[in-house]
Amino acid sequence: MTTKPLNITAQQLTQWADECLSINHLNTLVQREIQSNSLIRASELSERARKRAWKMLNEMFAAGAEKPEGYCEPGTIPEINNDA
Residue 82: predicted pLDDT = 65
Q: What is the pLDDT of residue 81?
A: 65
Beta carbons of 16 and 60 less than 8 angstroms apart: yes
Q: What is the pLDDT along the chain (84 residues), one digit of tens a residue?
A: 667 777 899 999 999 999 999 999 999 999 999 999 999 999 999 999 999 999 999 999 999 999 888 888 878 877 776 665
Residues 42, 57, 9: CA angle, nearest 5 degrees: 125
DSSP secondary structure string, 29-50? HHHHHHHTT-HHHHHHHHHHHH
This prediction has a pTM of 0.78
Q: What integer pLDDT is reported at residue 1 of this predicted model?
A: 60
